Amino acid sequence: MGIVAALALTVAVAASLAFSWVGKGVEPTGRTTYVTVSMTHMRYSQPTIEVPAGNRLVISLRNDDEDMVHDLVLETGEKSDRLAPGESTRMDVGVVDHDIAGWCSISGHRQMGMTLDIVATGTDAGDASGDSTTAAGDAADDLDLLADPGPDFAPYDAALPRLEEHGEVHRMTMTISEEEKEVAPGVRQKVWTFGGTAPGPVLHGAVGDTFVITVVNKGSEAHGIDFHAGSLAPDKAMRPIPPGESLVYRFTATRAGIWMYHCSSMPMSVHIANGMFGAVVIEPPDLPEVDRSYVIVQSAQYFGPQDGSADPEKVRLEQPDTVVFNGYPNQYDHSPLTAKVGERVRVWVLDAGPSRDSAFHVVGTQFDTVYFEGGYLLNGGSGGSQALALAPSQGGFVEMTFPEPGHYPFVSHDMVDAERGAHGTFAVTD
Ligand SMILES: [Cu+2]
């Protein structure tokens, strides 16, 4: 609501300052223009609606998509209901005396081209609508990256428990929900989650295991899921799930690695940016035991307004406010990961993007073992490694031992990202 209200205000102010012609004289004609507009594949069937100035405009709006929700909002503040597939509605725009821009308000649809222009013909006013991109208060203005998140803050649990059994069938229900959360100090956003957290839960199994995941969409728009850990035709399994519906996604993990899962609804960049991602760890059969295992998922945050959702424009321009490990900037500086001197520590790392690379590095140590995308880059010998380089959706693990007690920072060594939240600490004791 905040965005719409602020937008309406912006337009009202702009209109009173710049468009004084509006008052001087488009007489209502007493006639009505009726148009039917169908919505499908991120487009309005009539992207330009010409209306003789002074006519009243009535739009019959129909959602002909198979599984996506759409709507129509106008820069005047007018908006339709959000229409599920097959639904329709009637929108009375009133007397049109100037050009009016419209778009679908479902996240990211406008950026993907779902826009519409109402053009008032027979005026000499030229283009009165302008580009109504708004700057409704940005939650990044309230971000204090180094602030203590407070005593109630619960870090995402990075520990990966030992895998007890192999050859299992893993059955679980994963509920897609919208959650208002503090996602950085001073910043609350309405994130979309798998299972209530962003990242979603870590799934863990061995090569040969089967996963049967019931995905329930309790959100207010269509979402879907894509598990990289399985190989199958996307057509059915990754289809958009309308609000209130569910599907069963079944895959067998035939290859080892740390695999991304993410929302499969368009635009995926925005759905991932707003929290819809997670990791599946599939252990190779010969994986040696270590003293401690952790999972770190790197992602980026693109804040919209306070209590709003990710800003699709920042996502498109690749301008994140933060880059984070396990969903919250610097959280493991506030709640360090632990290890003891001499222990072998394995860190599985996944880069969930949506668009940033990762260069995982632990200050003060060298990796003696590096597993990248299903194979060892380094495993014994005299060589060492300083960073694990990952493109979006790639993953692997590194192993190290800490030589003495102390505080060892871990970062993405893309330093601008380390400085905007991709930073944590290993607290190492005797
Ligand atoms: Cu989604």
What pLDDT, on a 0 to 100 scale, did the predictor assign at position 177?
A: 97
CA of 274 to the centre of ligand 1 (A): 8
Q: How far is the CA of 265 from the centre of ligand 1 (A)?
A: 5
Say which residues have a Cβ less than 8 Å from residue 347's Cβ, sequence separation at least 6: 293, 294, 295, 296, 360, 362, 397, 398, 399, 400, 410
Cα–Cα distance between 6 and 69 in angstroms, integer?
24
In the sheet that holds 187-194, the strands lie side by side as 187-194, 169-184, 210-217, 246-252
Give the pLDDT score at 394: 98
- What's at 158, amino acid-wise? A
Helix locations, 190-346, DSSP H: 234-237, 268-273, 312-316, 331-334
State in Å: Cα 16 to ligand 1 middle: 39
At residue 60, the pLDDT reads 82
Contact 71, 89 (CB under 8 A): no
The CA 224 to ligand 1 mean position distance, Å, reads: 6
Give the Cα-Cα-Cα angle 184, 189, 193 (nearest 5 degrees).
100
Distance between CA atoms of residues 248 and 251, nearest Å: 10
Q: Please answer whether residues 301 and 183 qualify as being in contact, where contact means their C-beta atoms are separated by less than 8 angstroms.
A: yes
Cα distance between residue 40 and residue 109, in whole Å: 11
Residues with CB in 5 Å of ion ligand 1: 223, 263, 265, 271, 276
Cα 41 to averaged position of ligand 1 atoms, centre (Å) = 16
CA–centroid distance, residue 269 to ligand 1 (Å): 9
Produce one character per residue of 175-205: b if its CB has 16 or more CB atoms within 10 Å, e if not.
Answer: bbbbeebebbbbbbbbbbbbbebbbbbbbbb
CA angle at 38 for the pair 36 and 44, rounded to the nearest 5°: 105
Tell me what pLDDT residue 122 has.
84
| Ordered mean pLDDT values, 10 residues apiece, the chain (430 residues) | 39 38 64 84 87 87 88 90 87 89 89 88 55 61 89 94 84 96 96 98 96 97 97 94 97 98 96 98 96 98 96 96 98 97 98 98 98 96 97 98 98 98 98
CA of 223 to the centre of ligand 1 (A): 4
| Total-model pTM | 0.77
- pLDDT at residue 47 in the model: 87
Q: How far is the CA of 420 from the centre of ligand 1 (A)?
A: 25
Distance 258 CA to ligand 1 centre (A): 21
Report the pLDDT value the prediction gives residue 124, as an integer from 0 to 100.
56
Q: How far from chain centre, in Å, is Cα 275?
A: 4
| Contact in structure between 382 and 336 (CB atoms under 8 Å) | no
Q: Specify the pLDDT at position 56.
A: 86
| Residues 198, 183: Cα–Cα separation, whole Å | 9
Cα 242 to middle of ligand 1, angstroms = 10
What is the structure's pLDDT at 23? 41
Q: Name which of 184, 147, 178, 419 is nearest 306 in CA terms.
A: 184
Tell how far the Cα of 180 is from the centroid of ligand 1, in angstroms. 16
Rounded distance from Cα 292 to ligand 1 centre (Å) = 33
239 CA → ligand 1 middle, Å: 11
Measured in Å, residue 153 CA sits from the centre of ligand 1 at 26
**Interior angle at CA 282, CA 365 and CA 176, nearest 5:** 105
- How much distance in Å is there from the Cα of 264 to the middle of ligand 1? 6
**Interval between CA 220 and ligand 1 midpoint (Å):** 10
DSSP tag of 385: B
Distance CA 205, CA 187 (A): 35
209 Cα: distance to centroid of ligand 1 (angstroms): 26
